[in-house]
Structure 1
Amino acid sequence: SAPDGGENQNEEEGGEREEEESLDLELGEKDEACDLTGKTSYMKACEKLHVVPASRFLENIQNSELALMHRGLGPKGTKALAVSLVTNTSIQRLNLQDNWMEGMGGAAVAKMLKENRHITEVDLSDNNLGDLGARAISAMLKIGRNPILTTGCFRILQSVQENSGSSMETLDFSGITVNQEFGDLCRAVKEALPELRVKHGGTMGTLRKVKP
């Protein structure tokens, strides 16, 4: 059996890989053009990737916040979720902490976020994203009109910190103003990974009242 929303370990792997590779985050299918929740595309993706649909996602598919922490989605479960979120117009805050999505899942989320203009907060911490996932998400943040701000940058930098063997060279958050918490984390990460370059749009100032 598989965890809710996770991968089915009993399926044969040969044809599964082919189906997985052929599945992409596309918006062109006519029967999914009006799939504003993403439920139709999610069920199809789960079937193709041989993963169990996440009941919590289906229950909250029209809410503004989706919290799927510690669900064991895995790379394929995350990819199925990402396929559906391309067209979802309700969810604004997405928490996928600790789902072991790895690089493939992280890349799928990054690709989804290039298309989705409704999600503004994302937590991808504790997911073993590796360099593949971190690079994909960093590249996504460079796309114009992307709504993810300081919180998203912080979580991505956090994922790099968790991967002590990272060979990441650059994280480009140009145009995104970060806060002091991000700056503190950045200094800590650069102590462990001195070759890492982190670009951002500056640190937001703190306004203080002057005592009379």
Structure 2
Amino acid sequence: GAKALALSLMVDTSVLTLDLSDNWLQGEGAAAVAEMLKENCSISAVDLSDNKLGVEGAKAFSAMLLENTTIVSLQLSGNEFDDHAAKYLADAITANSKVEVLDLSYNMFGDKAGEIFGSAVAENIGLKELKISWNHFHSQGAAALAKGLGANTFLKALDVSYNGFGNSGAAALGEALKANNVLEELNVRNNRISVAGALHIAAGLKENKTLKRLNMTRNPMQSEGCCGVLKALQANSATGIEILDLPDIPVKKELAELCDAVKMLFPNLLLRHGGNTKLQRKSPLKVELQTEPKAVGNSQNAVA
């Protein structure tokens, strides 16, 4: 099926978008589609996610990307790519300057892949959006990937959510934010970043002027980490932050006051806690209601 389709698309100039997601293409089918894309000069968006392409598929599509100059968006999530596959994909990332959106999420990349991709991202001159969430980048690989971000001058959006960056990866991201003056969106949701890591990212935010959206939800940053991030924004009058997502934690007095102060400084800033725009503060009224048995039975009072 894939071979027949590939043959028909070889010279077809009417198709601009190709969606072959979730088709179990695997090696042979992937090779046929890749060969077709070397010749086709009209398709600009390709979705090959969830096809179990593996190393052979990575090799085929990397070779294609060294020749193709029309694909702008490429979805390769969920293809069981591992560190071995990363080597081929990195070659393509380094050499190809036409692809602007690349999705490599939901794969099996580890620290070695992080090191390989870090170098490739540093050299790439075309990517504007890279999604590499739901992989296995931990301290060493995460730090290498972040270092590549620091050197990149084209990338506008980076999604590394659901990895294991930890504090060492966060420290490298903080340094990258000091150097990078292009990135506008960064998603580090669910990356095991605790207080120390949050403070490293805060140090980067203190100097960064271009980042507009930052998602730090589902990280064990605690109140201290959240306060550190907000203080960094307070100290940076030139910050570009428009949307800041912090973890959903109990809001204590210092954090609540900092939130108010930052909102006064930047009235247009959308500040959310776990996706919620309203602060979940402990209300003295609610505490009283809980300790007064008579009031508990009154549903109207309880709701108020």
Q: TM-score, normalising length from structure 2?
A: 0.42
2:130–2:158 contact (8 Å) kept in structure 1 = yes
Q: Counterpart of 1:66 in 2: which secondary structure?
A: strand
Identity of aligned residues (%): 19
* 1:164–1:142 Cα change, 3 Å: closer
Confirm whether residue 146 of structure 1 aligns to residue 178 of structure 2.
Answer: no
Confirm whether residue 163 of structure 1 aligns to residue 196 of structure 2.
Answer: no
- Give the number of equivalent residue pairs: 151
Confirm whether residue 195 of structure 1 aligns to residue 237 of structure 2.
Answer: no
Confirm whether residue 88 of structure 1 aligns to residue 117 of structure 2.
Answer: no
Which of 102, 107, 112 matches 1:66? 102
Q: Counterpart of 1:98 in 2: which secondary structure?
A: coil
1:56–1:68 contact (8 Å) kept in structure 2 = no
Q: CA deviation at 1:176?
A: 3.6
Q: CA deviation at 1:167?
A: 3.7
Q: CA deviation at 1:51?
A: 3.9
* 1:137–1:53 Cα change, 3 Å: same
Residue segments in structure 1 that go unaligned for 5+ positions in a row = 6-36, 38-49, 207-212
Match runs of 1:97-112 below 5 Å? 97-112=133-148
**Distance in 2 separating the partners of 1:69 and 1:128:** 14
Match runs of 1:11-160 below 5 Å? 51-54=83-86, 61=96, 62-143=98-179, 146-149=181-184, 151-152=185-186, 155-156=187-188, 158-159=189-190
Q: Residue type matched to 1:94 in 2? A: L
RMSD: 3.5
Q: CA deviation at 1:93?
A: 0.8
Residue segments in structure 2 that go unaligned for 5+ positions in a row = 1-52, 56-65, 67-81, 234-238, 243-266, 269-304
Report which of the two structures shows the higher radius of gyration computed on alpha carbons: 2
Point out which structure has higher relative CO (alpha carbons under 8 A, 6+ apart).
1
Structure 1 moving runs of 4+ over 2 Å: 53-62, 164-169, 174-179, 200-206
**Distance in 1 separating the partners of 2:181 and 2:195:** 25
